[in-house]
Structure 1
Amino acid sequence: MTGFFARTLRAAKAADESADAPLAPIEHSDHARRVELLDSFEKAGLGWFWATDGQGRLIYLSPTAGDKLGWSVADVIGKPLTDLFMPEPDEDPDRNERPLAFLLSARNSITQLPVRLLGGQDEVWWEIAGKPEFDAKGRFNGYRGSAKDITTTRETQRDAERLAQFDSLTGLANRHRMTKRLSATLKAYRNSKRVCALMILDLDRFKQVNDTLGHPAGDELLKQVAARLERIVGSKGEIGRLGGDEFHIMLPDVDDRGVLGELGARLIQMISQPYSINGSRAIIGTSLGVAIAPYDGLDTEELVKAADLALYAAKGGGRGQYRFYSSDLKDGAKLRRQTEEDLRDAIVKDELRMFYQPVIDARTHKMIALEALMRWDHPERGNVPPSQFIPVAEDIGIIKQIGDWALHEVCRQASEWPMELRIAVNVSAIQFAHDDFPQTVHHALQASGLKPDRLELEITESVFMGDNNRTQRMFEELKKLGVRLALDDFGTGYSSLSYLQTAPFDKIKIDQSFVRGATEDGNNNAAIMSAIVGLAEALSMETVAEGVETHDELKLVTNRGATSVQGYIFSRAISHEEVLDRLERGDLTYEPKGPAKYRAERKTVFRRIGLIHEDHRYRVVLRNISKTGAMVEGLLDVPLGTEVVLDLGGGQLAVATVRRSFVHSQGLEFETPLISDGADGLCTRYRVSPYEIEAAGRPLAALPQDAYSLIAGPAAQHSPRRFLQVDPKPSSRAW
């Protein structure tokens, strides 16, 4: 204790002496004490000093700076300053800082300039400042400056910036970064007359993954989706996750809708492949909307809105598809919202009806079963197809209610038939996911009195998402009831042979996508069909080929061994009253009626479009259209071989040649085939560019519906009209 008090007394005495000492400020002329102060600053590592001569060569660097970097100061003295420091790369397009070399050559002051030190294994960053020095005669003597290590600060800042710009779950760009990048790109591209496409995707059935497997599984699924997107898109574009299950893809310098459609189809196909998550199998899908600047919008808000409308249309069209934006989608979005409102009341108002499509024995052409198909008899819109309202029912959460109603209604009606034919009912994956589904089936059978073996439940492969044990238990419960099970849409994206080992299916349905075009040379669908039939036979299952419409398709599926057939060649779906009438008459045999051969689908339409010949524009009626040609009406006696241009609206121009001509009707062949718009429509690869319209003296804007007139302006019409225009009457002529 004595030693402690002695030290304390000495310290107190020294403090008293210091307090009594006179103040000794460091004068400007006191070079020794000033140098001592700077030495203390350097040794403390608070910062360092550097200096160059008039040629930009380093003449001084604080020794402690060299020690920290492992440099020998003697080795760097005499080197140009620019050989030691690399300026920070300009990663931010909004920054406008001058690089180090420019500042030195211009002899400007340097203030807080981040630079990376060259030559080291580790990444080291300094922040430097400096001022040019001149002598009394104004001659440049070099720079005198300071530096400090900002490596740790920069790493922290970089991490913070990354968190602010990138999605922490997937590592993709987040909403903030994507919006900023898209805005900067569109602004720059507008000046350089370039194009940029935007795709917006969201995942179908993602909520079901969260509900059945849990949110951690949903997060893992999002990571795997992000990885697939990066593999497919690669360096062609930038991908962002904007939250939830929504993704954006920005594709600079792409406006070929054929290329975009192929990419969209590939994205849908790859994302729809099964996922393995913690030992469970998850199956989702995706829908995709596409918009292109400047055709569909000039700025970020306009382009995103256009792509959103296209996505909305893709989901409304049945999901698992892409759509390009067009101006008429605004009306489609309004229709979708109205559909949501009206559908909620459809059951209460007794607007839903069950129709039945015969299932025909492939050899005898006798009806052996029927498939129940729902129809919505809307009081104002008439018959609404299920492809339009079933996805809406899933989105707004009433698909189970509708599905349960359909099951009870079908069982009730089938129990009234005078013959005991089997009846197939489609089951939604969402409906199947409810634990009470077997009880719902049991109640429907009990209430109607229908024999269980007459009921066939058609289930898609998407039910195998999630807990395989639970799915297997569900199958076992259903089979205990005595019902039959059919695997629907086999081979359309989720196929795995593994579940066929245990799943007790009685039938495999061959999707119509394998039937369509199977008779064409070089088409592999026929071989796939044979493989499916062979697999079914090996597993003692029946097969039914869907969507058969032509005689050559019927012959093919029969020869390939399909057990039964469905399609328009025998019958469309008919009402319950028509079923009763046919069964009461005992009329079970159908005669195949339809075209002899399959040909590329030609869509029947009736709308007015423009037809351009030489310097004249005519108004004609488009009667039907396919990828390779169209039929128009409205011009008299147009010679074969005449070259024209069809204005399909929205800047879509299709060059065509008249191949058939009859009075006021012409059959046209397109110079370049049209492409799919992702749904049931067709479109051109390219459109009139808004930049061409701008060059014609109009303001730059997204394409209007009648874009061609903005370029052509008032027609010069130096030559007389070659053809007489008439007003065509509705006719039944088809080509």
Structure 2
Amino acid sequence: MPQTEIRDFSAALFGADGTRIVLATGTAETGSAARTIFEWLPHLAPERWDAAFARLATGETDLLSSPAPVGEAPGHPITLKVRGITLDGRVLALAEPDRDDAAALSALALLQQRILADVATGKRLQAVMHRLCLDVEAMRPGIVASVLAVDPAGRLRHLASPSLPSHFCRAIDGISIGPMVGSCGTAAFLGEPVEVTDIANDPRWAVAKDLAWPLGLKACWSSPIKAGDGRVVGTFAFYYRECRGPDEADRRIVEACLALSAIAIEHEEAGNRVEELALRDYLTGLPNRLGFQRGAGDALEAVRRMGTGLALHFVDFDNFKIVNDAFGHHVGDQVLKEVAARVAGCLRYGENIARLGGDEFAVIQRGATDDAAVEELAVRVLKAIAAPLQIGGHRLQITACLGAARSPRDGDDIAELLKNADIAVYRAKSEGHGRYRLFSDRMAEGIRAERLLERDLAEAIEKQQLDVHFQPIVDLASGRILSFEALVRWTHPVRGPVAPSEFVPIAERAGLVADLGDFVLRRACREAAGWPAAIGVSVNLSPSQLARPDFVLTVVRAVHETGLSPARLDLEITETVPLSENSAMRAMLEQLRSLGVSISLDDFGVGYSSLSYLRSFPFDRIKIDMSFVRDIGRRADAEAILKAAIGLGGALKMRTTAEGVETEAQRDWLLGQGCDEGQGYLFSRPVPAADAARLVATGAHSSLRA
């Protein structure tokens, strides 16, 4: 029948229940308008219509079967069966849904609902894909379904293949994708479906056909699973037990399965990213405390099974707060990143680092069966940390202390090992910078006592339960009191008096020394404000205080609130303050001097670079360390150093103060060398504020022995 004649025929479309429907919406047609069948199936070529009506002319009624854009499953066309009839000389086309096809679409819709529900309720990806394959195989008997993932390195990873034997899955797992890697590897590589209708003779299966053929797998159709951004994240494959390709039903099912698989894989990726963020330190990229606990727990379980040892190293930087305060947190963050990378780079197989928080890190060392192995790693880590850094125009040298505990000797769980390694690092810090110590039972009790003392000290500082005593500094020539040095004292409510030599180092290790120093500064200014205007007060500064950007404001507030003239305040620093490397600290001292505050260099002579340190800032006073004064009359070298220091002070127009003067002979010798001032038990021990006020009032300077 000529095509022009065909197009003149009208047609009606009926549903399975006999009602007329509008194909585009699937709803019952209420009007009387009739449309031609060609409008419902516009995609069919004229040749198919010619063939269909040729069959009608011979008496056949089944004209054709074709998908049309309507169906029970959204996005999936339903198959319509079209049959022809003649009525009053007119050819009419009647169509109804293929009942078998409608059932398949209903099953596919249920499959989609189940899989999406599994994804939404958080089932693991492997379980979701396993169910998807089983459901698809039930819908298409004789087909073997398989889902593979593609990892970031471009390797195939087995997700689900419930009907394939384990040896087949293991053989595929880890294979790199490529243009000739079976159906799945090729589909993943090309990003497009690959139909292999004869595995035995297709060159893409040359390497793996011996795996498939014994299982009766003769053909394989694989399609790439693509994420929303276009990445190939996996493959979905049908294996056939006969040499053939996919039919229309296969294509419809796989189209749905590809969308479901992409949703499931992306959902898993998003969950993994969230978990990674929860377990990873944002700054250094290392595992964080939670990630460390998981990894360390797994490592401990592994060494238990193998019967080997494990060591936990606790790393804590020395005075890192000073870096943040002096140079800013942006520099501190760069230091942490650089040092973390250095330490990670020096580690070997079986050694892993994590950042626990702040400037605290932990290293797990598998296979640590003796102390020698633990010490070797400790030295390696501390050496990596101590190498000089160049960050933001600043040359920095960071040190750290390390404490280590071994399993099973020092603990059989991570919490106990971490606690004991913390005790060991605390002991290392008490001995200086850049030290390491291995935990022992002997150190535990002492450290626990120190920790209790640290807690009590923090409470005493917060509640201002400390006291300040004052030791006079006198003019050696006249014996007149010039000023007092403020010295902190602590009477523990249970232990009684605690020596500064005991609690000040604890304050330094615990990061309390800046708060302690600020307390002494305020108290000293308050007491000195009540003395005669000619009497000054000296206060020791810690590097932590001077590293605070607002320290000048702290001093201004202290003198303003107490009414003390800044000219009566002397601030003492030691060589531990990094003036030569820190222009901000020098600028801060210059600001203080511009206010009228004087600056002294304390403990002169005990540092490694005392002479060069004098060039870093124009100090007002040099305080010579008592270790040299003690040896007057006993060691010629001590006297030579004293003479040089006194002469240097005079040449630089800096006053000199000798500390630790205890005898008349020492005072006379110092006076004879031109030393300006003296401080020590010869004149007075440190005394409470009330006694200091009486000393000032009476002018006494030599009789009081506290």
What's the TM-score, normalizing by structure 2? 0.48
Structure (1 or 2) with the greater helix fraction: 2
Which of 1 and 2 has higher RCO (CA within 8 Å, sep 6+)? Answer: 1
What's the TM-score, normalizing by structure 1? 0.47
**Looking at CA atoms only, which structure, 1 or 2, has the larger radius of gyration?**
2
